[in-house]
Amino acid sequence: MARCRRPDLPGVSWMDVLDQLADVAVPPVPAGRTFTAGVRRKLNPRLLVVHVIEFALGATAWSVMHMAAALIAAARYTVTGSWPEGTKRGATGDGR
């Protein structure tokens, strides 16, 4: 059998690694209920943590940003007496 050697890794024979992996015993497939229970036990808490982090960093930050923009616009309207230019929605352009 020919040896496959990579020039960037001297002394490492990839065929030796594959030969070692060929001798590894594969465990039997677990029973259906055991497998499902294990997946639920390991995966569900991790999914919950990911969802909470996404909500805390994503949705909460987005809503705070939009609320702050609305409050700043309201404060500007209170001080200047005119609504900011970019938010007028009337067909005539005068804000009605």
- Do residues 13 and 2 lie in contact, with contact meaning Cβ atoms separated by under 8 Å? no
pLDDT at 1: 46
Kindly list the domain boundaries of the chain, sorted by start residue. Answer: 24-83
- Do residues 4 and 14 lie in contact, with contact meaning Cβ atoms separated by under 8 Å? yes
Q: Both tokens of residue 39?
A: 């997946």
Answering whether pTM is above 0.85, one says no
Tens of pLDDT, residue by residue over 4-28, are 555 555 566 767 777 777 877 888 8
Q: Both tokens of residue 88?
A: 């007028």
Count Cα atoms within 13 angstroms, Cβ side, for 16.
6
Tens of pLDDT, residue by residue over 55-95, are 888 888 899 999 999 999 889 899 988 876 765 555 555 55
